[in-house]
A = this chain, B = another copy of it.
Amino acid sequence: MATEWLVREEGWDPGRIVALGNKFMTGNGYLGYRGTLEEYTKEQLVAVNLAGLYDRVGAKWREPVNAPNGLWTRLALADGRPLTPESAPPLAHAQQLELRTGVHRRETVYPLPGEDGACVRLTTERFVSMDRRHVLALAGSIRTTADCRLLLATGIDGDVWDINGPHLQAYTLGETDGLLGIRAVSQEQQVPVAVAEGFVWLAGDPAADEPQEGHPAIDANGLCIRRTFTLDCRAGVEYRFFKVAAVYTGLDGEGEPEEAARRDCREALAEGWDALRDATAKVWSDLWDISDVQIGGDPEAQLALRYSMYQLLIAAPAGERPGSIPARGLSGQVYKGAIFWDTELFMLPFFLHTQPELARNLLLYRCRTLDGARRKAAEYGFEGAFFAWESQDTGDDACTLFNVTDVFTGRPMRTYFRDKQIHISADVAHGIWSYVQLTGDDSLLLDGGAETVLECARFFLSYGYYQPVRDRYELLDVTGPDEYHERVNNNAFTNYMAARTLDIALETVDYLRNRHPDRLDELFSELAYAPALDQIRRMREKLYLPAPDPRTGLIEQFDRYLTLEDVPLRDLRSRQLHPSEYWGGGSGLATTTQILKQADTVLLLHLFRDRFPREVIRANWEYYEPRTEHGSSLSACIYAMVAADIGLPDWGYPYFMKTATIDLTGESKTYVGDLYIGGVHSAANGGAWMAAIFGFAGLSVEAGRIRLKPALPSVWTSVRFAFRFRGQAFALTVGRESVTVEPLILAEEQVFAVAGREYRCRPGETLAIRISPTDAPNGSQ
């Protein structure tokens, strides 16, 4: 296995358990399975995180439900002493993940007592099936260096990790036809969750020598069921087993989940390990065919970028049910398992360009939660759709008003994520419109997209204000992406995005009027929209869009930002009194300074880059970059991408690597105040792809034309990737002095603008374009 496909970590370090749980994540969109060891429990944050099933206990935060862990398996000595890293520090240990197939492998050598140097090697391979979305499979192998008796316990651990639980109750546990099962129901909506598990010995069945005692027992806490085998191991003999687990919930629409889980379990056992693994590998192979990005000259970046895409692929919604991707993927209950703007702005582009059907599904999720967004708008006295800052199944906002705890007083701190980050509605409209533009498929508009877009525009209409003296509309009291500055006026990013939303609404109306006039009439009548339309036109015409200062080129992040204290980041850090004090909020360290949490105006300059001269974008990058704390994992990728936009990819490269390796290194904020925010960083994962493709390869699409403005970092010799556009597919290779375009699916000719010149790509013909050194990435600008 090429190292560019393999993530591996050797040695056991108790301080890395949580980080490795994220790093070695497996999943299939239906569920996420943390990269913990089979013998681990909730103490080590084992989680079988279910997508889309949320539960609330009392007044605690509503969050996704973790299912019982059907892969739980533990070796023990004959006297019952468990063989876990904690109680028997391993002689050797390694974990690895094959990105190409999604198979996780662990190998641990535990010491055995008694004879000097005797040990047992436990090896497992496991995966969450991409083929059968409810199935997890595990193959295990045990081999000792001396004859000895061991115990192998395996079954279902229903004592799950919860942050604001317990979410499961009314457990029933038992064995039916040799399959173990746990069924429980969620507290809030009484949704049943069932896990079935089956186990077989494959080779060296110790029962051949000695009667096995694999009778199931239920733990004293009534939450776990397990069999325990007594293994009389012979030195050097490998004992191999295979187990599967299947998970269903009441939301799956497959009848009684217990029954469905048992059925899947039986079928999977019958298929066997190899067949199951081959089937999932085939799905993975197809995914990589369209998704992979090959980087020449930089194996480290290659692995990191693949790993980033892997994380997106295991979190992307499975099946037909509209769904989206939470901010922390399926790595746990962090951030309430909620969907943020992260999805539309940072993850959607990858899917739009590689799996548009899946992108459509992500956006349909927003259309299906439109009523929640309407309720939120109405709650605050606005019209239209104000999407949830933290969205779960209904679209009602899971974001609380008190999101952070003040570390100095222990009091909950009022934050304005929920009330003031109005750009979320623009982000949603932008996502929907991007889909329509990139796919040419208007079915999303008819399937709720148009209604959503119109309602987002109407929200801005009711949120905006006209100032008669300045003769302009303004957006007041908002929070932009830089959440350290809450409740500001005319955040440039927000204003431009709101203007974009108004444009999208007007374009949607024009489009429907031409193509689907009946649908337009229907919508206008349902929404009583006609009077709003004129107001939207007026607002669009007069909406204040902060322009670059003619002298400095700077776009002020929001009104009076430049009057704030201009303190170096280092100095501000030295004022910190508590390691996890929150820098934003009413009294945060950064609030009264120019230090920002994350790319804000610089993100605007990417999204609207055709409106601004390169010098303006550069001036802003140079101004805001040293003032950015990167307190959000969404920040670095934007600085990487925009550095490439302005022809300075080497400025962006460290930010790209920071983004792409975020879940490999595990070096990221884990606490804000006393709030745990660990887990994988799906937006950064998507941002790594964006930085590589939009940034370094320089791909952009507009008005039916595909544009390439490459700016490869010095260390890259080339980048090769495939993408889809309006039913077509292309493979592009961007080198330092050439660009090659291979049409994969192409019916008619397609125009490519490469480094400023236009080329026509024709079906069946590969287009090879030379680019001159001055077009190339590091040409001095």
Contacts and interface: CB of A to CB of B under 8 A. Distances in A.
Interface of A: 380-381, 383, 401-402, 406, 408-409, 411, 413-414, 461-462, 464-470, 474, 476-477, 487, 489, 532, 535, 538-539, 559-560, 575, 577, 585-588, 591-592
Given A587-B413, A587-B585, A469 B462 contact: yes
Given A414-B591, A468-B538, 4 more contacts: A409-B587, A411-B587, A465-B465, A476-B476
A468 B535 CA distance: 8
Contact of A469 (B411, B414, B461, B474): B461
B586 A591 contact: yes
Contacts of A380: 560
A440 to B, nearest CB: 34
29 contacts: A383-B469, A402-B592, A406-B587, A409-B577, A409-B587, A411-B587, A413-B587, A414-B591, A414-B592, A461-B468, A462-B467, A462-B469, A462-B470, A464-B467, A464-B468, A465-B466, A465-B476, A466-B467, A468-B535, A468-B539, A469-B532, A469-B535, A476-B477, A477-B477, A477-B487, A477-B489, A585-B586, A586-B588, A586-B591
Contacts of A466: 465-468
Contacts of A381: 559-560
Nearest to A476: B476
A712 B476 CA distance: 48
Contacts of A560: 380-381
Nearest to A575: B411
A560 B381 CA distance: 9
A524 B461 CA distance: 35
A383 B477 CA distance: 20
Contacts of A476: 465, 476-477
A532 B468 CA distance: 10
A587 B592 CA distance: 14
Contacts of A586: 414, 585-588, 591
Contacts of A532: 469
A406 B467 CA distance: 36
**From A414, A538, A586, residue with most partner B Cβ within 10 Å:** A586
Contact of A474 (B406, B462, B465): B465
A441 to B, nearest CB: 33
A422 to B, nearest CB: 14
**From A414, A532, A587, residue with most partner B Cβ within 10 Å:** A587
A380 B592 CA distance: 16
Contacts of A401: 592
Contacts of A465: 465-467, 474, 476
A540 to B, nearest CB: 12
A388 to B, nearest CB: 18
A560 B379 CA distance: 10
A575 B410 CA distance: 11
A402 B587 CA distance: 11
**From A408, A468, A489, residue with most partner B Cβ within 10 Å:** A468
A661 B411 CA distance: 37
A538 B467 CA distance: 12
Q: Which 9 A-B pairs have the closest CB atoms?
A: A586-B586, A465-B465, A408-B408, A462-B469, A466-B466, A586-B587, A587-B587, A414-B592, A468-B535
Contacts of A411: 575, 587
Contacts of A575: 411
A499 to B, nearest CB: 16
A592 B419 CA distance: 14
A401 B591 CA distance: 13
Nearest to A461: B469
A182 B538 CA distance: 69
Contacts of A539: 468
Contact of A409 (B408, B414, B468, B538): B408
Contacts of A535: 468-469
A489 B382 CA distance: 14
A577 B411 CA distance: 10
Contact of A487 (B402, B462, B487, B577): B487
Contacts of A409: 408, 577, 587
A409 B578 CA distance: 10
Contacts of A414: 586-587, 591-592
A559 to B, nearest CB: 7
Nearest to A384: B469
Contacts of A468: 461, 464, 466, 535, 538-539
Contacts of A588: 586
Contacts of A477: 476-477, 487, 489
Contacts of A467: 462, 464-466
A469 B560 CA distance: 27
A409 to B, nearest CB: 6
A243 B298 CA distance: 92
A468 B466 CA distance: 7
Nearest to A486: B586
Nearest to A536: B468
Nearest to A539: B468
A476 B490 CA distance: 13
